[in-house]
Structure 1
Amino acid sequence: MSEGYEGYAEFGAAAPDRTGQAEAFDAIGARYDDVFPHKEGQVRSGRWLAETLSPGSRVLDVGCGTGLPTARQLSDAGHRVVGVDLSARMLDLARMHVPDGEFHQRDIASLRTEGPDGLGQFDGIACHFTLLMLPRKEIPYALRQLRALLRPGGLLSLSMVEADLDDAAIPFLGHTIRVSGYLRDELRLIVSAAGLEIAGEDSYAYAPASTDVPPEHQLFLNCRRA
C-alpha cells in the first residue's frame, strides 16, 4: 500500500500499516450497526450536509462503513455518493445498502484528486469517526487532504469522539483497535489550522447497545473550505 503516500515523507515514515484495523472491521461487519443502533448525531450531521449542498452534488463518504446511515442518507437525498473504507467487508455491505453509490477500498492517506487513482473534487465530504483510527501526527495531514478534495466553498461534516488519546490500543467487540482523540478546544484549533471554517457544532453523550463498548462523548463539526 505504498502508492499515494507521498505526503507521509514529512513524518519520515513509510506507508502506514493499518492491516489490523481493516481486519478488525472485516470481522465485525454488520454487527457494527447492531452495536451502534441510534446515531442521532450522525444523522443530524448528514442531514445538514444533504440539505445545505446543491441538488445532485458530488459527495465523498470517508470511512463509509456499511453505508448506514450517511451514504444512504446522501444518496436518498439525490446526491452522487462516493464511499471509501479500509474494510472490504464493510464495503460489501455499503454496496448492498447504497446500490447507487460508488465504493473503493482506500486508506484516507491515499486519497488524491488527480493521478491514476485520483477521485477528483467534491462538493461535500462526510468524515464520521474515521480520523479516530489515525495517530495524532497524521490527523493534520489527513485534514489538509480532505480540504484539497473539496471544491472552494465545499462542505465537510466531521465527527470525532472527545478523548485525550494518541494511537491507544483499546478492546472493541472482541478485537483490538488503535484510536486517537482530542479535547474539543484542541480539535477546533487543528481543524481551523487545516484551512476549514467551523460553521456549526454539536455534541452528544452516546451509550452503545453493547457493554463491550464504553460510553463516549461525540463531537460533530460542520465545516466549510476556507
Structure 2
Amino acid sequence: MQNNRQAADIIPDLYERHAKLWDSSRGKTLFERSWLDRFTALIPQGGSIVDIGCGSGEPLARHFIENGYAVTGIDSSPSLIDMCKARFPNADWQVADMRHLSLGRNFDGLIAWDSFFHLTFEGQRRMFALFRAHSKPGTALMFTSGPAHGEAMGVFVGEPLYHSSLSPDEYRTLLAEHGFEIVAHKAEDPACGNHTVWLAQQQ
C-alpha cells in the first residue's frame, strides 16, 4: 500500500518531466464527443467550465473554447500549463494540485477526465467536497473512474503510473452526499474507449 501511495504522490512530477512526450502522444481526436455533448447540454451557452487536470489543453479544453465556453484549466504541471497558455491565451490557466483546489468561485461545469483517477482512494473521497465548493444549483460534473474498487499500475515512459477507483456504490453515495444527482453513468463504455464515465448535476 505504501508503494502505491508513493506512486500516486509522484504523478505530478511524472507528467512534468515528460510533458512534451505526453502532449505529443495524447490523441487529439474527440472519441469522447458523445459524453462531452451530454455534459455541455447541462451548461448554459457561454457558461464557465473548470477542466481539472487539463493537461496541455487538447483536445478537451480546445473543444470547449471553440464552442464558446469560458474555460479555466488547472494542472499540477507548469510545463503543460505553459502549453495551454501558448495555445489559448484568452483562457484562464493555473498551476494547481486538484487535491487542494480553491478557485474562490463557482462554475457551470466541472470536468475531471482521465485525471481524478490518479488519486488514492482517500484523495478521491476528499475531492467531492471540493467539487461541491466550486458548484452551484445546476452545475454539471463529469469524471472518469475505474469500473470497480481497486488499484491498477500502468506504465508511462517506463515508470509506474498509478490509478485507483472506488466502487460504483461509493461514488453514488458520495455524489448524493454532496448534492449531486446522477444524470448518466456507463461502465467501460465501448463507444468511448472503454472509459467508465459519471455525469451528475448539482441540485
Contact 1:136 1:180 in 2 (8 A): yes
Question: How far does the alpha carbon of each residue in 1:68-93 deviate from its partner, in whole angstroms, 9 at most, with x for none?
Answer: 12211111111111000011121122
Cα deviation for residue 18 of structure 1 reads 6.6
Letter in 1 for 2:108: D
Match of 1:132 in 2: 117
Cα deviation for residue 201 of structure 1 reads 2.1
Question: How far does the alpha carbon of each residue in 1:134-176 deviate from its partner, in whole angstroms, 9 at most, with x for none?
Answer: 110121220121111012221112212335324x554223222
Distance 1:206 1:46, change over 3 A: closer
Which stretch has the larger CA shift, 131-140 or 176-185? 176-185
Distance 1:119 1:68, change over 3 A: farther
Letter in 1 for 2:101: L
Distance 1:187 1:173, change over 3 A: farther
- 1:184 paired with 2:163, answer no
Match of 1:58 in 2: 48
Q: Match for 2:31 among 27, 36, 40?
A: 40
Which stretch has the larger CA shift, 192-201 or 168-177? 168-177
Provide the rounded CA distance (Å) in 1 between the counterparts of 2:69 and 2:96: 21
Alignment of 1:186-225 (within 5 A): 186-202=170-186, 203-205=188-190, 217-225=194-202
Identity fraction in percent: 20
Provide the rounded CA distance (Å) in 1 between the counterparts of 2:75 and 2:138: 25
Q: Residue 189 of structure 2 aligns to a residue in which SS?
A: strand
RMSD: 2.7
Count of residue correspondences: 196
Match of 1:49 in 2: 39
Letter in 1 for 2:182: I
Provide the rounded CA distance (Å) in 2 between the counterparts of 1:67 and 1:161: 23
Contact 1:46 1:126 in 2 (8 A): no
Provide the rounded CA distance (Å) in 2 between the counterparts of 1:29 and 1:62: 16
Provide the rounded CA distance (Å) in 2 between the counterparts of 1:96 and 1:47: 26
Q: Match for 1:161 among 146, 149, 159?
A: 146
Unaligned runs of 5+ in 1: 1-15, 113-117, 208-215
